Structure 1
Amino acid sequence: MSDFRPLSADYSVAPQISIEDVAAAKAQGFALIVNNRPDGEEPAAPQGDAIAHAAAAEGLAYAAIPVGHAGFSHPQLDALDKLLVAATGPVLAYCRSGTRSTHLWALARARAGDDIDAICDAAAKAGYDLSGLRPMMDALAGDK
């Protein structure tokens, strides 16, 4: 059962997806699946290659930007920015709970100059609290 949570018109997040969720993503119009979960983090969960294979079978693009316990980096934000620019349709990103995928998106959008309150509101509507991330978002927005 899919649990896709929209953060914007073209970006949604989800907790760990199953192989079956890939077909549901296709049916809901997603064009790209972004895996933010490092392989091996949960051996029982479908690993990146399995999701990539299922995505290819459905005609969906797939990319991995693993976010481990070390946190976020500018190269990860850069990678997401490049994927979003190149995406041919809506994007579905996932990790264990959807939190890292939400945080990565929020940091990238803050760095791009989007309204931080609006970013936080969108995340809250999807069930994610960005209050702890606010100082980093403010710092990234100030880098502009």
Structure 2
Amino acid sequence: MTKSFWNGVVLAICFSCTSPVFAAQNLSRALTATVSVTGQMTLDKFEQLIQQGFKSVIVNRPDQESGNAVTVSQLRSIAEKSQVSVIYQPVVSGHISQANIEEFARYYNELPKPILMVCRSGTRSAALFNQAKSQGLIHE
């Protein structure tokens, strides 16, 4: 057996052992030390995220939005088992209003941290956070 063959075997073993860890870490994207965003949700993914230590969840994806596989009530029932707060603040994609930004900022400032924000891709939730922060509405 050649040295390159064994190097490949060792790399394959290393990646097979560590890939679940990396996968778990990539379930969400941190915006700051206190807030992360995540996209398309499944019940299994949500259970994994809750185990990562989030204290609060803000769901920005409307239950009735096309392609949404889980409802906020399903997420809430999982979160409550870990004593995690869930806030349902549905925001229509591409139509973030000033009222949405101010409502989010109130939740952010009052909820235990770290906070996980949920929408279809994470973009809408990140936009809410970034707009509230740029307007000085976020107290960190």
Q: What's the TM-score once normalised by structure 2's chain length?
A: 0.73
Mapped partners of 2:82, 2:48: distance in 1: 10
Change (3 A) 1:97 1:70: closer
Q: Which runs of 5+ in 1 are unaligned?
A: 115-144
Contact 2:40 2:68 in 1 (8 A): no
Instruction: Report how far residue 58 of structure 1 moved.
Output: 2.1
Instruction: Report how far residue 72 of structure 1 moved.
Output: 0.9
Give the alignment partner of residue 33 of structure 1, picking from 49, 57, 61.
Answer: 57
Mapped partners of 1:83, 1:4: distance in 2: 20
Which residue in the other structure is 2:41 paired with? 17
Instruction: Give the paired residue count.
Output: 114
Mapped partners of 1:73, 1:103: distance in 2: 11
SS in structure 2 of the partner of residue 33 of structure 1: strand
Give the alignment partner of residue 59 of structure 1, picking from 83, 88, 99.
Answer: 83
Identity over the aligned pairs, expressed in percent?
26
Deviation digits for residues 39-89 of structure 1 (CA, Å, limit 9, x no counterpart): 111355101111122111221100011111461112211221111111222
Is structure 2 residue 116 aligned with structure 1 residue 86? no
Deviation digits for residues 107-141 of structure 1 (CA, Å, limit 9, x no counterpart): 11111178xxxxxxxxxxxxxxxxxxxxxxxxxxx
SS in structure 2 of the partner of residue 62 of structure 1: strand
Q: Which runs of 5+ in 2 are unaligned?
A: 1-22
Is structure 2 residue 31 aligned with structure 1 residue 7? yes
Mapped partners of 2:80, 2:59: distance in 1: 14
Mapped partners of 1:34, 1:60: distance in 2: 11
Q: Output the aligned Cα RMSD.
A: 2.0
Contact 1:38 1:67 in 2 (8 A): yes
Aligned counterparts, 1:68-87, within 5 A = 68-69=92-93, 71-87=95-111
Mapped partners of 1:43, 1:95: distance in 2: 11
SS in structure 2 of the partner of residue 63 of structure 1: strand
